[in-house]
Chain A
Amino acid sequence: MIDEEKLEILVEGAKYDVSCSSSGSRRTNVKGGIGNGAVSGICHSFTPDGRCISLLKILMSNDCIYDCEYCPNKRSADVRRARLTPDEVCELVINFYKRNYIEGLFLSSAVFDSPDKTMELLYETVLKLRKVYNFNGYIHLKGIPHADSAIVMKAARLADRMSYNIELPSEQSLKLLAPQKTKQSLLLPMKGLNGAIEYDKQNKVRRGKVLPAGQTTQMIIGASPESDGQILRLTEALYNNMKLKRVYYSSYVPVVKSNKLPTVGAGLLREHRLYQADWLIRFYGFNVSEICEEGENLSPEYDPKCAWALRNMHLFPVEINTAPLEMLLRVPGIGAKSAYRITETRRFCALDFDNLAKMRIVLKRAKHFITCKGKFYGSDSYTQVKCSLMLAAGGANEQLSMFSETSTAVSALTGEL
């Protein structure tokens, strides 16, 4: 059994990776095996920072030969080092899983010895977990840049999800802050994996599919000068070209001192706004160009949907009883669930303002953008609307209410609007 200090070192090194979701895999258990995947994802605990614990997030080793500027595990850092054996990881996973502490494993690693060696050991661990320990729960593997693509592919046949982290939103920043990683060393494997996933899809492969829960990536926000507009354009390209399931944003926390890095963190609000914009792109049919100009940042005062609506007041108000679903989704304050409930309910009767209130649809913001049976309850004054939008969404306090519908809260990081 591993000792607590080793665990602490290897968890401390992994915790800034934000992808915690365990959803999207329907892996079924086999007789004599342990574990399965839940499509909707399950949170097993929440830490005092408000994040969900779903996976055991741990590094195989924190002993790195690379020297990424922002990383506490970089070669030049003077920190405690530790490494696990595949069996140590397996034992921990199985015992945590049996007690229902976790939904699965998120295994990552610093690059020790060489990229191939590191990837090889990650693969060996996953192979053992699946074949020797008969584990059928969720496994998310971090991809190691520059590792042999054949090993990567073997690992991808056993894992549910893999991620190559983009880390920094531009090539220049990568050069400056993560000199051993290149854009190509991150994008090529992503492309290769996407090719394999697409192949399985086209050929209707059922057993032993490559990465049933797809690929994700992560970017550090605020360690380098890129604007939100640039970041979101990169995001959109990754969704379109690499078919990523999620792009995660991690606002920079200054844990390492360096003159190449800012001394203050990027703050949660910026990260939150990016998730909201990301949500609009993925689910509400927005284009990046509607949300944010290339060189600009998202507005801190309003969420990106409000900001868009304020720029497009000529499209409002819309009649709640006749507006198409796509338009309802664009009304500030009306989320996917509310929009769906409205379209379902209005089939039976025309809705008035009272009905909406009884359906628990929050109207504080929405009332300025809708009519109910032709009646308008909002304000005609643009400044009044702006003011009430700002008050309804109160900066940092807004976060809990954004996420307060726990029934859908698979991850605290969705940015649902």
Chain B
Amino acid sequence: MKIFVTDGTVTAFFTAVFDAYREKNCVITSDTRVQLSFDSEVIHVVGEREKNKRVQNAVYKCDRQAVDDIVLALRSGDPSKEQTAFEYLKKLLEIKSPISKMLSLPQVIDFNETVRRVTLEAHRLKGLLRFMESREGVLYAPYSPDNDITDLLMPHFAARYNSERFVIHDVKRKIAGMYDGHEWITGYAGEAEIYLSEYEQAFKNLWKKYYNSVNIKERPHIKQMKGYMPVRYWKFLPEKNGK
């Protein structure tokens, strides 16, 4: 079996699709820890502009929305995301018209689920992201999302805090989105050193006080709280992490 390994970029994915499309039995992945069986052959794919464009065009002709959806799916933290997107794409090219609502096809169900998880997390994090203020007045929000969603969050916060400067830092992927009060960019960012504003702790404490006061103790419903606000996000929430 051929295993096409990409570097995780969109271009490399579509290039891999170009190369893998006619293969009978193959897998596309960006996960370098893939389990190899004795008959597998690894092919490293480097993104090629031309192949990328040709596949995207072909997809676009079948469904104008599909390229965007595939790009969203590729933001997923699921190691089989490329394969899921590949299966979807193959089905789309076979049927030659939009398939996103054909929920009787397993490829569509899997793909939609992958996209849904990405957009769900982005929606959740619009609420659960927490900023702190630095001495210079820059807002800084470290987080560690399941999916690569920093680019999805930036426009939301840039509209909201349009005259502030802020940084959203995915500490797991070492990616930061930066907004300078005019426009935003994303790029590599390892460690960040930050000196907090002298008021930061006081507002954190007020927030924690608020959180504890607004709760109705007579009506505990912990399961529901955790359902909406999974424990893995608590690390960065002042009301939950005890800091």
B20 at the interface (CB under 8 A from A): no
CB proximity of B19 to chain A, nearest CB, Å: 31
Q: Which residues of B contact A49 (CB under 8 A)?
A: 215-217, 219-221, 225
Is there an interface contact between A32 and B163, defined as CB atoms closer than 8 Å?
Answer: yes
Give per-residue flags for B182-208: 1 if the beta carbon is below 8 A from chain A beta carbons, else 0.
000000000000000001001101110
Let me know if A31 and B163 touch, CB within 8 A. yes
A43 at the interface (CB under 8 A from B): yes
Q: Which of B129, B228, B229 contacts A100 (CB 8 A)?
A: B129
Are A359 and B225 also in contact (CB < 8 A) when A1-B202, A99-B139 are? no
| B109 surroundings in chain A (CB, below 8 A) | 358-360
Cβ-neighbour of A48 out of B106, B209, B222 (below 8 A): B222
Please determine whether A53 and B214 come into contact, CB atoms closer than 8 angstroms: yes
Are A15 and B225 in contact, CB atoms less than 8 angstroms apart? no
Q: Which residues of A contact B161 (CB under 8 A)?
A: 34, 98
Indicate if the CB atoms of B101 and A406 lie closer than 8 Å: no
Q: Which residues of A contact B228 (CB under 8 A)?
A: 43, 46, 50, 52, 403, 406, 409, 412
Contact of A344 among B101, B131, B229 (CB under 8 A): B101
Contact A100 B213 (CB under 8 A): no
Given A1-B202, A47-B225: A358 and B164 within 8 A (CB)? no
> CB of A382 within 8 A of chain B?
no
Q: In the bound complex, do residue A400 and residue B106 qualify as a contact, i.e. CB atoms below 8 Å apart?
A: no
Query: A355 near B210 (CB under 8 angstroms)?
Result: no
Q: A341-B103, A359-B109 are in contact. Are A7 and B206 (CB under 8 A)?
A: yes
- Minimum CB–CB distance from B157 to chain A (whole Å) comes to 8
Contact check, B160 vs A45: say whether CB atoms are below 8 A apart.
no
Could you give, for residues 104-134 of chain B, a 1 whenever the CB lies within 8 Å of some chain A CB and a 0 otherwise?
A: 1010010000001001100110111111110
For residue A92, CB closer than 8 A to chain B, the reply is yes
Interface residues as binary, A12-47 with B (CB distance below 8 Å gives 1, 0 otherwise) = 101110000000000011011111101010111111
**Nearest CB to that of B230 among chain A residues?**
A406
Query: B229 contacts A46, CB within 8 Å?
Result: yes
A57 at the interface (CB under 8 A from B): yes
Are B101 and A358 in contact, CB atoms less than 8 angstroms apart?
Answer: no
User: Is B102 an interface position by the 8 A CB rule?
Assistant: yes
Hey, which chain B residues are within 8 Å of A344, CB to CB? 101, 103
Besides the known contacts A46-B225, A359-B104, 5 further A-B residue pairs in the complex with CB atoms under 8 A apart? A1-B199, A7-B209, A48-B220, A137-B160, A347-B101
